[in-house]
Structure 1
């Protein structure tokens, strides 16, 4: 690595070293060195003869709201949470479709819904499985990587890729091959002072980077505040939590449904009696007993789970802190076989010498086998090999056959903790500020339990397949979709008109693993209905113009109304299973469509047990047990007034349509006096309204506050 240079100096060096098009790869999400990228972008805009192509995903921008009450709530919150976070200048131009002619941005995953109206983005979107991105970018001739890293004064020869080893680790060996063939390829690092120093695979030699930016980035890390978990999401999470098997493997996606699942798992462990009672009232354990008995359980976790998720989400850390995610896995096949055979406890300590033998350890030790046991940490380094015997430090000699009773008795005192055990593998992380703070507070030993690594390790089975199959027992890959067809296809990334909402990411990878791994299941979470601009519609539809997950990979689907096990079912059985978890307002129309297509018999009748799948039934359940439906189960960045205001605005949004005009007018007419909500009005700068518009806004807000309190 060259001597660290300034931001502008690093731009100069890149422009000098790369005399053709600059093909820049930036990490997904948090790991982009925005300050340096902005400097490069500004320079390229002034050099129309130079070409810049940026390959990346999930470009993070501050949330924005429409004018009026939403903006009054959001803008002060954004200022407080995001502080001096440096926006990406090219993202601003993308949103306006105003990139200069010599710059192109290609992304394989978008901040959900943020670039639907950017023609430039939609035209330059790359549809690629997450695990194939490194290959695809290398094939495009990537010649520059720029990434935020962490540093540790105790590790002066290393950087940590911290939040984003995902693609970088997979790319580095590919780029080295091209360098060896004579190509010029640069890797640039900028240290961010707030990034936690993750070890293991995420720790790389400083020499892996050719350039280091001298200025350390100390700006606010971009965060994703926890949003309210609705009743609909809570019920989805409760159903899904009963499909997670103790001793198994868990992958969770980001968002409110993932938070709801985490909350349900926490309840399953902390207050199992109340949890099971709630499942019974929800009819989960009555209607879906067969699915639960076959796939999951409702008891507390005695063995614990292992987390394997492309995104290390806040919920996984909460599950670790609660002692639910605690099953360690190991990087060596021999060790993992012993762990999978039940010979090691949660801390990696052997239960006994006999337990190691029962789990498959070869009984006859030789010099090499002894060294391997000591390297793994299972046996004390003080033991030596001497002429077919084991020699202890005090001079005792033991038979080298571990079946020998005396050998077992003495070695029991010399057993040690297995090395390298981790409870979570993750490819990248992104979350609320409290999540970053929690990681920074952990000791080095605690952080070593979280293995940030390359995405191909997590999202694929090939390479170390035997090891992964042992680690990922009883895996539950739990992701979200926004639409399901009655024939079992899932939609998560693209609208019917072709516009990309987000991206496929790793969803296909995990669905495929759900089918490839013995005992594994893919579980898609779905809100059965939605309210968009005052129109209520079903998210379970007869057909859709696009599918993220094809119907031949259908497995399990969970809505707020229940569980549909679609694996191996006929088309008619799949349709019936999905009708059973759909909203009853739409069941007649869906049945008619399926019958018209000849996929259901003309005399089909819906099971009466599922004819009252209505929000009112779930609302009554919440009214009886409000304490079990926490609005922010994983913490909250909003203060108390902001939480009230957010509920009020959501209430207003749902009623700003003709059908609710009378209800809204009545609420506004009966709005409480301003003094009752003085702090809320002060927060929204409406304590002293000026003009008719602000007086109307205040009246609406007061009505919403009263109605939603």
Structure 2
């Protein structure tokens, strides 16, 4: 008989998922509207079992509401399939796939099951009519509201069990780990509905691959009606491997890093642009001479003065604080390199005092970590404590880590071991004793990064799991409503958030930007959704509210489409994610456009300056034609050389001038999920994809492939083995089955020869 225990304080813990599904249906009935977390936090065992039950029992009405249903990449050709076979097995064999998502992608979802998402895996559903029709467009901060409007009565998500739990000392707890983003606020609403008599079921599925994240992410076991403790092994976490960072992306990351301010706040998203930003930020901190020299090579301050007025080139002394809906592996890299180290605090008086001191230009390396006389004075000025400390003041100062726990107030004097002084904070002798002996070693409760959810490569998950308790306590996974807006929240008031988020730089990506300053990030002009708005609008709008904050939208200036280079800076577009009245800073590989508070003619000129020079004349002519630029407008010479060769030459100059072991801008700055052979083959296939993108290109490249005299023995044996092309390719059996297969093989040989030749010439 399936095992059910009561080991989790009132909530039944099941080891058999079918028994749990029985109890779920008994609790809420057969009309089930289930919410699953965004990304990796979905309770896979539970939702797959529920989906399979609904396939069999057509009387069940199952509606699944979620976001970012992740699946392994699907090869688009036989060559891709050969190339990815080993990688996909290595990367995803231990990840349990989502049955409902496979049905959505294949168009085989039965009528009694409905799936709707508010954020799609990027470009994964452009041709999927079902997903496009069932998409909900919603700001991240509005999702809880929209889930309630959809009639949600069940949630199911992965949780981490407490590794230090002792049944005899306290009730068991779980951590929402990767996904407290919506659940923390949704739990409040579902508990209210349950109290009003609505049948509600909250399900926790334990996954021991999740790190136990502390603070706001910790919940009680009895916050759930049902708990699944499935037999081992638990599903591996879906990993998003780090992709190669191109030279163009490195340039964007460099420009973005120059906009960061010491003692500031950082938000970044997933992807190679975020990786590039983090890499350049580390370069700024630890190879500052090299970093500054590159700024000189590209004439950064001469061409883009905002880099000096908004940011800086110097290393970070105080360090940065992270406040991002998504905690990426980049934040861990910044923690490990001593950059993400400015803590913020939950106590409003303490945080406001630190903010005030920093705003006054106080420069002390440990200002935000340790007590000081300046901090005492600021707390007095705020009215948080009296000049002459009372017993309540002493208790308060100990609670926030200003005074040592052993300090006592006796007869109006502060006493600690052999030290004794008046409790008057203005008395010179007392101030000397305070500074010498009475201050605690460190302020209490400091958080260096707030995040709503996390997703990244395997190395990122392992880094979180292997952190010490003290290291992990510097990260607070919390509600997205707390992070993505300034409104009061139970985890912190607007005043507290404003004090924490000084000099904020909200770094996000866009697909296209109009010369008027509108940004296209989530959809196409025909209405199809590429991904979703997520929290981008929230952060852009917040940047316009917070003093000293800036919104930075990053994008590559061009893209390749059907064998043609096209501009991502366009004159206008029929869909916009961020309207032009919220325009701020835009970055391409060609520079920085600061558009805040500027007149339209200034905005058009600034954005055209960072466009690829192949498209600048047309953009200028369009702007002149409608009167947005003067008829006599001429682009300055400093911005007319926006070609890939220009920045690539600057990168080569930098590497030539420094005798470093590695390039300043490597393709994989941190981790790489691919083997060296996979990287070589991947480069060849990338070349082949570009060469055959158009019909003419396909014909010409195919002819070259058939005329190629290369023999298999001339190609790397490991590359042939990876692609399962061992042996004589003229052989009638084995991998060769048709003219198409032989053509693909010859194309592969051509691509390898071509890219090997390029490597040798480089």
* TM-score, scaled relative to structure 2: 0.89
1:356 aligns with 2:391: no
Q: Is the CA contact (8 Å cut-off) linking 1:671 and 1:702 kept in structure 2?
A: no
Moved more, 594-603 or 184-193: 594-603
Corresponding position of 1:581: 610
Kindly indicate whether residue 546 of structure 2 is the aligned counterpart of residue 511 of structure 1.
no
Measured after TM superposition, the shift of residue 297 of structure 1 is: 0.5
Corresponding residue number in structure 1 for 2:345: 330
**Contact kept in structure 1, 2:40 and 2:455, CA below 8 Å:** yes
1:62-73 matched pairs, under 5 angstroms = 62-73=72-83
TM-aligned CA distance change 1:564 to 1:408, over 3 Å: same
Report what 2:209 is aligned to: 194
Match of 2:745 among 681, 691, 698: 698
Q: CA separation in 2, counterparts of 1:38 and 1:478?
A: 36
| From 125, 140, 144, the counterpart of 2:150 | 140
Please point out which of 304, 325, 341 is paired with 1:310: 325
Is 1:628 aligned to residue 667 of structure 2? no
| Cα distance change on mapping 1:671 and 1:473 into 2, 3 Å | farther
SS in structure 2 of the partner of residue 633 of structure 1 = coil
Q: Distance in 2 between matches of 1:355 and 1:512?
A: 32
Aligned to 2:716, the other structure's residue is in SS state helix
What is the distance in 1 between the residues matched to 2:369 and 2:631?
62
Partner residue in 1 for 2:558: 529
| Residue 429 of structure 2, aligned match among 406, 415, 428 | 406
The equivalent of 1:609 in structure 2 is 638
1:671 Cα deviation after fit: 6.6
Q: SS of the counterpart of 1:85?
A: coil
Unmatched runs of 5 consecutive residues or more in structure 2: 1-9, 167-171, 656-662, 730-734
Q: Cα deviations across residues 632-689 of structure 1 (Å, max 9, x unaligned)?
A: 1121010000011111111111111326866785587567543341111111111223
Other-structure match for 1:80: 90
Output aligned runs, 1:443-592, within 5 Å.
443-463=468-488, 464-592=493-621
Unaligned runs of 5+ in 1: none
Q: Could you say if the C-alpha distance between residues 588 and 667 of structure 1 is closer, same or farther in structure 2, counting changes exceeding 3 Å?
A: farther
The alpha carbon displacement at 1:93 in A equals: 0.9
For the residues of structure 1 that align with 2:706 and 2:472, how far apart are their CA atoms? 53
| Change beyond 3 A, Cα 1:86–1:350 | closer
Distance change (3 Å), C-alpha of 1:679 and 1:347: farther
Partner of 1:56: 66
Distance in 2 (alpha carbons) for counterparts of 1:271 and 1:695: 50
Partner secondary structure for residue 12 of structure 2: coil
Deviation of 1:405 after TM superposition, in Å, equals 2.7
Q: Which residue of 2 aligns with 1:176?
A: 191
Distance apart, 1:408 and its partner CA: 2.5
Relative to structure 2, which stretch is displaced further, 430-439 or 675-684?
Answer: 675-684
The answer to whether structure 1 residue 231 and structure 2 residue 247 are counterparts is: yes
Distance 2:223 2:536 in 1: 30
Q: Is the 8 A contact 2:343 2:369 kept in 1?
A: no
Equivalence for 2:47: 37
Q: What's the CA shift for 1:704?
A: 2.1
Structure-2 change in CA distance of 1:358 and 1:239 (3 Å): same
8 Å CA contact retained: 1:251, 1:308 = yes
- Structure 1 CA distance, aligned partners of 2:746 and 2:295? 40
Does the aligned pair in 1 maintain the 2:354–2:375 contact within 8 Å? no
1:286 and 2:302 aligned? yes
Q: How does 1:595-674 map to 2 (within 5 A)?
A: 595-625=624-654, 627-656=663-692, 657=694, 658=696, 669=707, 672-674=710-712
| Residues 521 and 640 (structure 1), Cα distance of their counterparts in 2 relative to 1, 3 Å cut | same
Q: Which piece of structure 1 moves more, 346-355 or 107-116?
A: 346-355
CA contact (8 A) 1:242 1:298 kept: yes
**C-alpha deviation, 1:698, in angstroms:** 3.3
Tell me how far 1:499 sits from its aligned partner: 0.8
**Whole-angstrom CA distance in 1 between matches of 2:278 and 2:407:** 45
Deviation at 1:393, TM superposition (A): 5.5
Residue of structure 1 in register with 2:7 after alignment: none
Task: Write out per-residue CA displacement over residues 104-160 of structure 1, whole angstroms, 9 at most, x where no aligned residue.
Answer: 112110110111122111111111110111122123321111010001231351001
1:254 aligns with 2:254: no
- Partners of 1:40 and 1:20 lie apart in 2 by 11
2:658 match:
none
Which residue of the partner structure matches residue 119 of structure 1? 129
1:380 aligns with 2:404: yes
Pick from 7, 11, 25 the counterpart of residue 2 of structure 1.
11
**Alpha-carbon distance in structure 2 between the residues aligned to 1:616 and 1:86:** 44
Q: Distance in 2 between matches of 1:555 and 1:668?
A: 52
Check the 8 A contact 2:203/2:224 in 1, yes or no. yes
Residue 11 of structure 2 aligns to a residue in which SS? coil
Structure 2 CA distance for partners of 1:409 and 1:668, relative to 1, 3 Å: farther
- Alignment partners' CA distance in 2, 1:470 and 1:655: 53
Q: How far has the Cα of 1:67 moved from its partner?
A: 2.0
Q: Contact 2:422/2:430 (CA < 8 Å) preserved in 1?
A: yes
Residue in 1 aligned with 2:716?
A: 677
> Contact 1:671/1:699 (CA < 8 Å) preserved in 2?
no
Aligned partner of residue 150 in structure 1, secondary structure: strand
Structure 1 Cα separation of the partners of residues 726 and 298 of structure 2: 43
Contact 1:249–1:305 (8 Å) recurs in 2: yes
Q: How far off its partner does 1:512 sit?
A: 0.7
Deviations 1:572-612 (A, max 9, x none): 11111111000111111112222222222222211122112
- Note closer, same or farther for the CA distance 1:671–1:419 as it changes in structure 2 (3 Å cut): farther
Distance 1:347 1:442, change over 3 A: farther
Instruction: Return 341-350 or 236-245, whichever deviates more.
Output: 341-350
Residues in 1 aligned to 2:569 and 2:412: alpha-carbon distance in whole angstroms: 68
Query: Mean Cα displacement is larger for which, 177-186 or 618-627?
Result: 618-627
Aligned length in residues: 707
Does the C-alpha gap of structure 1 residues 706 and 241 become closer, same or farther in structure 2, counting only changes over 3 Å?
Answer: farther
Contact 1:557 1:565 in 2 (8 A): yes
Contact 1:565 1:577 in 2 (8 A): yes
Alpha-carbon offset, residue 355 of structure 1 = 4.3
**Structure 1 residues 623, 650: closer, same or farther in 2, change over 3 A?**
farther
Structure 1: how far apart are the matches of 2:749 and 2:262? 48
Whether the 8 Å CA contact 2:342–2:368 is kept in 1: the answer is: no
Cα distance in 2 between the residues matched to 1:496 and 1:554:
20
Which of 726, 731, 734 is 1:687 aligned to?
726
- Aligned mates of 2:649, 2:400 — CA distance in 1: 55
TM value normalised by structure 1: 0.96
1:273 is aligned to 2:303: no
User: Is the alpha carbon distance of 1:278 and 1:670 closer, same or farther for their aligned partners in structure 2, counting shifts above 3 Å?
Assistant: farther
